[in-house]
């Protein structure tokens, strides 16, 4: 499975949707994922890829990790995975 498919599978599970219902331009809000759901998704992604995502719920836009939609999240994860030593 590609990184993209794996991220979508995690987000779909959190949103209780089929992966096919999660499109790159979906926002988390569209998918019904609230702030707790977001923190849980990030935890699941960190575990899946053994990476650390710089995310503070108080300032979600402060780090360069973009959560504006699914495509942005996938791009961010791909970058973090590629940077992994």
How many whole angstroms separate alpha carbon 1 and alpha carbon 8? 11
Which residue stretch of 3-11, 23-31, 39-47, 69-77 sits at the interface with another protein (rule: CB under 8 A)? Answer: 39-47
Task: Give the pair of three-digit tokens for residue 3.
Answer: 């990184």
Q: Judged by CB under 8 A, does residue 63 bind another protein? A: no
Q: Judged by CB under 8 A, does residue 16 bind another protein? A: no
Q: How far is the CB of 15 from another protein (least distance, A)?
A: 18
In contact, 51 and 77? CB cutoff 8 Å: yes
DSSP assigned state of 52: -
Find how far residue 15's CA is from the centre of its chain: 12
Q: How far is the CB of 20 from another protein (least distance, A)?
A: 29
Interacting residues toward another protein by CB under 8 A = 35-36, 39, 42-43, 52, 55-59, 62
């Amino acid at each position: 499975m590609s990184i993209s498919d794996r991220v979508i599978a995690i987000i779909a599970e959190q949103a209780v949707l089929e992966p096919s219902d999660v499109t790159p331009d979906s926002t988390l809000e569209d998918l019904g994922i609230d702030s707790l759901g977001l923190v849980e998704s990030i935890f699941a992604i960190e575990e899946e890829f053994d990476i650390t995502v710089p995310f503070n719920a108080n300032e979600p836009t402060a780090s360069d990790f973009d959560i504006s939609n699914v495509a942005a999240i996938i791009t961010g994860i791909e970058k973090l995975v590629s940077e992994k030593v």
